[in-house]
Amino acid sequence: MSSLLLIGDIMPDMKNWSCIITVQEKQQVTDSMGTPTKKQKFVFYDSESSKVEGIIFNADIARMSPMLQVYKKYKISNADVRNIPPKFQTLGLTKQWVITSKTVIEEVNGSEDIMPVKFSFTQFADLAEYMDDRSKSVDVLGVVISSLAKKTITKNSKQSNVQKFVLLNEESQTVLLSLWDDFLNNEGQVLLNNMQSYPVIIGRRLKVTNYNGVALSTWFDSALLVDPPIQEARQLKNWAMRNAKLIAEIIDAKSYIKYNPALCFKPDQKTTLICNVIPSQKTAWVKAKLSFDHIFQKYWYMSCAKCCRATAADYGIEFTCNSCKEKGPAMPRCRFDVDLSDDSGVIPASIFGDLAENILTFTALEAMDHFNQNLELPLDFVHARLKTKTFLVHIKPVQTQLADARQRYTILYCSEVEPEFGHAQLTGEPESVSVSAHQQTENEHLLMTGDGGSGSKVRLRLSQKFDEAETVDSNDFKSSDANSKKKAKLG
């Protein structure tokens, strides 16, 4: 007869034991690196909140996995108990129960009203600290209020399905969470089926990405707990139900699809000298001057009002977008090129949407009207004002290089720097930065003024760089040809 023990009393190679546990987590089925082995991991806890890792391998997954559901209580007997090698330990768990087709599992009626497990959640405002660091992950708590369209993406000749879900916290901050493949097929379907009831999730071991400033994504060892029986989740659901009107307004405004500086901008934001910005960086912050008086351009493109992708549709005409598949009117969107410069160098960048209109002081519609009337925008005051200002700019590299092989960038965010802001705080860089002779020569050439060295001479003209019919990232569009001071040539 087996002895009923607690998790802490069960040792490797022990026989004739039983333990009553609750399933806290159920991960997706994953492949073992470099082997054909498939595995699925679980986290179990007992009445004293002690935890142990459960694992099922290969053919046993299909048979045994459906018997273990999150938040339910089971009596497990005589699983194979092993020590986990230190390099494979996660969550501080040192022992592993291997569940096989021989393991005895019996569901126990009744479960705790509140799961006696403590979580440490990362606040939305702190997510930027973990961005694009594969060695770090976060646990978050949020209520799911909406979802974006499902997409199929091909990476390394393999197709993957992904769908973004909108998470909201009690501070009314939103962040997008991408669910991939099995996460989308399993927990994602639960969320979609229960969206109207404000499902609350705990996302465990999520990765922080730089999409729209800050976003979240599932990873191979992530776990999603939908409506977990913990006090914080119930409080958040009650808050959501009380604030249904506010949530409806957030969904209607769709501000969550735009860059959110509140989540990625810090008052003491560190910056990098332009000469040290490299294309392999996912994003970079620079403190720079903006100039574009030497670049003759169109300042707008026609776009889908839903997803901002470029279109050949005429202004105001309802059409079905080839990118987002949504039907809506074609609308002009502001877009133009600038040079970002500091004392160390210059890089070309493109700016879009509201940010572009704020710098230009004209709307996209006004820019389009001037273009259609064969009139240049009166920008002398804007150019003069920009010479006296410095901006804190968040940039990301784009895949398409200029024809002279220089990397170009998209401006994600920019704000004027007050004079007392002082010098840029360098991220891991010395006060005196060493610049290569080649870089120094290029920078001097770019910074020169006059016929021989203006940016308009160095940079290729727009007619050589951009084709409005082509599109890339939703925040990074190629403009149509614009390389003449006459509309006839612009067109």
pLDDT digits (tens, 9 = 90+) for 241-300: 999 999 999 999 888 888 887 787 766 778 999 999 988 888 889 999 999 998 889 999
Closest CA to 263 of 188, 341, 336, 211: 211
Q: State the pLDDT at residue 403.
A: 60
- Average pLDDT for residues 1-7, to the nearest whole number? 85
- Average pLDDT for residues 161-187, to the nearest whole number? 95
Q: State the pLDDT at residue 472.
A: 37
* DSSP string over 213-269: S-EEE--TT-EEEES-SSHHHHHHHHHHHHTHHHHHHHHHHTGGGS--HHHH--TT-
Query: At residue 62, does pLDDT exceed 50?
Result: yes
Query: At residue 218, does pLDDT exceed 70?
Result: yes
- Please report which confidence band the pLDDT of residue 167 belongs to, taking 50, 70 and 90 as the band edges: very high
Q: Which residue has the higher pLDDT, 352 or 437?
A: 352
- Please report which confidence band the pLDDT of residue 460 belongs to, taking 50, 70 and 90 as the band edges: very low
* DSSP string over 53-104: EEEEETTHHHHHGGG--TT-EEEEE--EEEEPPGGG--TT--EEEEE-TTSE
Q: State the pLDDT at residue 139.
A: 96
Residue 319 backbone phi and psi in degrees, to 5: -150, 160
Half-sphere exposure of 385 (CA within 13 A, CB side): 10
Range in 238-247, 325-334, 466-475 with the lowest mean pLDDT = 466-475
Q: Which residue has the higher pLDDT, 420 or 365?
A: 365
- What is the rounded distance in angstroms from the CA atom of residue 443 to the CA atom of residue 36? 52
- What is the rounded distance in angstroms from the CA atom of residue 468 to the CA atom of residue 348? 18
Query: At residue 428, does pLDDT exceed 50?
Result: no
**Looking at residue 306, what DSSP letter applies?**
T
Query: At residue 302, does pLDDT exceed 50?
Result: yes
Q: State the pLDDT at residue 158.
A: 85
pLDDT digits (tens, 9 = 90+) for 13-40: 899 999 999 999 999 999 887 788 999 9
- Please report which confidence band the pLDDT of residue 314 belongs to, taking 50, 70 and 90 as the band edges: very high
Query: At residue 405, does pLDDT exceed 70?
Result: no
Q: State the pLDDT at residue 111.
A: 61
Query: At residue 444, does pLDDT exceed 80?
Result: no
Query: At residue 117, does pLDDT exceed 60?
Result: yes
Most confident of 103-107, 449-453, 457-461: 103-107
Contacts of 24 (CB under 8 A, 6+ apart): 42, 43, 44, 45, 51, 70, 71, 115, 117, 225
- Please report which confidence band the pLDDT of residue 112 belongs to, taking 50, 70 and 90 as the band edges: low
Q: State the pLDDT at residue 189.
A: 96
Q: Which residue has the higher pLDDT, 445 or 191?
A: 191
Q: State the pLDDT at residue 489.
A: 33
CB 197 within 8 A of CB 17: no
- Report the chain's mean pLDDT, rounded to a whole number: 83
Query: At residue 470, does pLDDT exceed 80?
Result: no
CB 151 within 8 A of CB 161: yes
Domains of the chain: 3-107 (2.40.50.140), 124-260 (2.40.50.140), 265-302+330-490 (2.40.50.140)
